[in-house]
Chain A
Amino acid sequence: MKARAFDYMRPKCVQEALEAFVRADGDASYIAGGQSLVPALALRLQAPGLLIDIARLDELRGLSVAGGHLRIGATTRHCEILGSDLVREHAPLLARAAPFVAHPAIRNKGTFGGSLALADPASEFPAMALALDAIIEIASVEGSRRVGAGDFFIDLYETALQPGEIITAVYVPLASAKTRTAFDELARRRGDYAIVGAGIDAEMQGGFVERMRIAFLSVGSTPVRVGAVEAALTGRQLTPQAIRQAQDVLGTELDPVGDEHTPPEMRRHLARVLLGRLLGRLEANV
């Protein structure tokens, strides 16, 4: 399990990285935390001629609050999300999901931007970006653009990123006093990619759902928002009956795939169970 040979460069700024990618004529890959890319290289599933290391670029770092959003620099590591007071306060759903991402040592290197760029449907953060209606800031040699999470995840490992584009930051709308969240997943072992997982970001007023976004992981080729379920709950109280109805709607909305361990009907069933449990435990603080 040794990677094929490649060249390596560590650019000084995003612009230099972007240009290097263009010069390599597409035979290049960015590396951030490397926690997904390096295994793929070791297995020779990928073999780019050039690795462009973006992990140390200052422009891609940092957590800050500005203009009603929490800005998460692309190379913010999972452990920084997990340990951040800013995240706990302004994006409680992310704080809830973070302990479920991989293992401690992987969280010490893996990056938020890398996770979104990879867009593994079993990953926590892409699904949570969807549940949070985050905005993804993307740089290319042509300039910078912003894409909503809802338009970002296109298919299995396929995103709105064009070859050579870099995620520079992700903007998450700030939580309010009305925000209630819940996250959980069912994984065979701690830190494994889950069989199914879900996060809910809601605004509640006097016991009624004003707004709710629900995103699932591991139930399709992308992270999945369940609009029909959200609609079925909006404006209602979370009574056992409402929850049951939501579960029924979910049953028709999801079309999960199977794998060697888990048939699709198992995933659908577990998603229903998980939804019911999460709706019963929406909370304000992490």
Chain B
Amino acid sequence: MNAFAGSIDRPNSYIGRSVSRPNAKRLLEGRGRYVTDLVLPRMLHAAFVRSPYAHGKIVSIDIEEAKALSGVRAVFTGEDLASICAPWTGTLEHFTNMKSPPQVPLPLEKVMWSGQPVVLIIADSRAVAEDAAELVIVDIEELPALADPVDAMSAAAMSKELADNICFATKLDSGGVEEAFDAADTAVEQSFIFGRHTAVTLEPRAIVADYDPSENRLTAHHATQTPYQFQDVYSRHYGIPEANVRVIAPDIGGSFGMKLHVYHEEMAVVGASILLGRPIKYVADRMESFVSDIHARDHRVTGRLALDRDGRITAMDVDDVTAIGAFSSYPRTSAVEGNQVIRLMGAPYDFSSYRANLSVVFQNKVQTSQYRAVGHPIACAVTECLVDAAARELSLDPFEIRERNLIPDSSYPRTSPTGYQFEKLSHQVCLARLKSMMNYDALRVEQAGLREKGILRGIGIALFVEITNPSPAFYGVGGARISAQDGAILKLTPSGEVHCSISVTEQGQGTETIIGQIVADQLGIDREKVRVMTGDTDTTPHGGATWACRGAGIGGETALQAARKLKANLLAVAGLILQAQPGELDIRADWIVETVTGQQRISLAEVARVAFFRSDTLPPETQAQLSVVHHYAPQGYPFAFTNGAQSCLVEVDAETGFVKILKHWVVEDCGRIINPLLVDEQVRGGVVQGLGAAFFEECLYNEEGQLTNGSLADYLVPMACEMPDIEISHVETPTRDTELGAKGCGEAGTAAASAAAMNAVNDALVGHGAVLTQIPMTPTRILKALGTI
């Protein structure tokens, strides 16, 4: 397809332009409306009593004293909520033999991780609810905790519903791997550890659940990126008709995948609102976030590469063990990350023999699940570190070895040995662009000069492939009620402006802005005249919302097609008014014009006025359609893959193990760019999350399964002084699956930043006998690798 031919110089041609976000003004003036800000009449507040143990049997719970405290309105335990809430199980049918124990809001018999909510207190204020929480006496008989994933694989099942602790296991084998390794001139092998980290959105999870028994109606003001999914979940698990459930996701203080999973607390609070018939607010405090938000990663991977004499990769073999906590998360499961790890391995490179083993294991920790760049950073780091290891072995420059192995840009479409179908990628162009942008050769000269003075600089590069624009192949085929399509409603106002409500959602990435750009562009009207609304299941059509980089690609295409539909309707009315052929008319700068001459005939506002208020002046039988509804589901390729290349420049203090990140470069190709300003900031934010993982972020547990750094003072997030400036360049390879041609970009930064950082540190340490294969690369780990301590 790709009939799209937007010229940037035409009036109202917004696609491809850096424009600022209209809705950001509200946020800049302190007028944001987040769930955390919301107050409703008669609203109560929730707090939880949590398990102090990672694993244990609940012997008794004494809530009497808590209940008696002044200001406490209710105290609920497992039975209270289980009796009204259908349990949920986090499995997907297309993951063969995947299993997970059923979950209920609050546990009935056992606690499965330290921090699991056990008792729900409802009180007049959060402070009083916390006072009451201190008065609850929970007697738990501690059981041995399974913290280590490898131990957990062979240990007795910790859930009575399951036979063992394996959630999901799978193998991929394209054949020929053993033979390729036997015939290889060079083989490299490394074992990696990717620490657990977590999303740490600045606004914690928040919900105000408001059940009105008179109408059997639930309104959930919910800080989530996927309101429709939660409408479905609340409806089915609490038995309320879907049409009676309204989920409103207003301004959201960051999400990154963390706010699309079903959490026990939110489910419990919805249940409590149903039981009490009053609005109830729950905002996780930061200490609760660390023990109850999903964590991510936690993979141990062994990878091998076989190469021939010329440094060409002939085969890759990997084994990934990932630990996901006590349950697989719902409804997207905790197996998706592992699945993407083994399918994205080696993705940029041209080889055919691939084998992978994946084990997804239960343990007594909080759940892991999808967080920005699901699986990508692991696949990328394993691949790119192995490629660098091979380059060192073969004395090849890191650029050289990649140039020899990349899938040629001219050879698409192709299918990867792991089964992914690539429509068109641009690795060669991106790599060449990266090299010139960073002035690679000069950097190497500078590096050598500094090395003589004892200053260790390192340059690391990493190529990546990103999964975007997912079709139903992602979740739908697995039986999950998660939509891959989106819907939009466009309405003309009587003043000639346009109102758009759409099912993709905004968390600050600029969704509303780009949708406004597309609608204005396609309609030929001023951007200021388009008002975009998102995040309310009552006023927007059902759709996928925000996950896996789909907003621009799928939501954007939905808006584009909807706008074209509305435009056709408007031109039809204009044609009747002007007694002209609609085909000879166009809309430009809010005017109906003659397409050929550009001559202004009638303003859009006038068309609207006539259509709404003087339909009597239109020919009989005319029914002007001034609003349109349109849905769009991706067809064609199951995913729109994107690609790019990153580089990181670091300086390592070999005496202290401290690393200074000096600079980072990104070349990325997300297809048609709708707004370069927003794309760049998505990339920067993503890179910093990747650098956080590379150097700082890790959820540390002791052997008893206790999180030992679960506060924002102890868990190190990346801060301003430690992060570098990031230079970005774009290559545009639009997908032909849509008119718009846009793919996703939100995860690109995170996908490869940690890999580039690992290669940079290892480059700095060349000749010092140290290779880091674990992240975060802390000073302690660096000095240990160097043998200093």
Contact = CB atoms under 8 A, between A and B. Distances in A.
- Answer yes or no: A and B touching, Cβ < 8 Å: yes
Interface of A: 1-5, 43-44, 186, 188-192, 195, 260-263, 265-266, 269-270, 273
Given A43-B287, A189-B716, A260 B708 contact: yes
B93 interface: no
A158 B134 CA distance: 27
Nearest to A266: B780
A209 to B, nearest CB: 24
Contact of B788 (A192, A195, A269): A269
* Top 8 A-B residue pairs of the complex, sorted by shortest distance between their CB atoms: A2-B127, A190-B721, A1-B285, A260-B708, A265-B789, A260-B700, A266-B780, A273-B655
B488 to A, nearest CB: 41
Contact of B779 (A43, A190, A266): A266
A190 B127 contact: no
Contacts of B716: 188-189, 192
Nearest to B696: A188
Interface string B120-135: 0000011100110010
Nearest to B720: A190
Report the contact-size class of chain B (Cβ under 8 Å from the partner). 20 to 34
B89 interface: no
A190 B719 contact: yes
B600 interface: no
A13 B393 CA distance: 74
Contacts of B287: 1, 43
Given A1-B285, A1-B287, A186 B126 contact: no
A261 B789 CA distance: 14
Given A2-B130, A266-B783, A269-B789, A261 B778 contact: yes
A143 B200 CA distance: 50
Contacts of A269: 783, 788-789
Contacts of B788: 269
Most buried by B among A195, A262, A266, A273: A266
Contacts of A261: 700, 709, 778, 780
Interface in B102-131: 125-127, 130-131
Contact of B134 (A44, A262, A270): A44
A133 B716 CA distance: 34
15 contacts: A3-B127, A4-B131, A5-B127, A43-B287, A188-B716, A189-B696, A189-B716, A189-B719, A189-B721, A190-B721, A261-B709, A266-B780, A269-B789, A270-B656, A273-B655
B167 to A, nearest CB: 28
A101 B722 CA distance: 17
A262 B130 contact: no
B704 to A, nearest CB: 13
A197 to B, nearest CB: 12
B695 to A, nearest CB: 9
A5 B721 CA distance: 37
B397 interface: no
A4 B133 CA distance: 12
Contacts of B708: 260
A260 B709 contact: yes
Interface in B693-736: 696, 700, 708-709, 714, 716, 719, 721-722
Contacts of A188: 696, 716, 778-779
Given A44-B130, A260-B709, 19 more contacts: A1-B130, A2-B125, A2-B126, A2-B127, A2-B130, A4-B131, A5-B131, A44-B134, A186-B656, A188-B778, A189-B719, A189-B721, A190-B719, A191-B721, A260-B708, A260-B714, A263-B789, A266-B783, A273-B656
A269 B779 CA distance: 12
A188 B696 CA distance: 8
Contacts of A43: 287
A190 B717 CA distance: 12
A190 B789 contact: no
B721 to A, nearest CB: 4
A235 to B, nearest CB: 28
Contacts of B127: 2-3, 5
Contact of B722 (A189, A265, A270): A189
A188 B700 CA distance: 16
A158 B66 CA distance: 35
B217 interface: no
B540 to A, nearest CB: 35
A4 B716 CA distance: 28
B17 interface: no
A12 to B, nearest CB: 29
Contacts of A189: 696, 716, 719, 721-722
B192 interface: no
Nearest to B45: A2
A112 to B, nearest CB: 22
B714 A186 contact: no
B286 interface: yes
B658 interface: yes
Contacts of A266: 779-780, 783, 789
Interface in B245-282: none
B771 to A, nearest CB: 19
Contacts of B286: 1
Interface string B608-620: 0000000000000
Nearest to B134: A44
A286 to B, nearest CB: 21
Nearest to A47: B134
A186 B658 contact: yes
B74 to A, nearest CB: 19
Nearest to A43: B287
Nearest to B701: A260
Nearest to B286: A1
A97 to B, nearest CB: 18
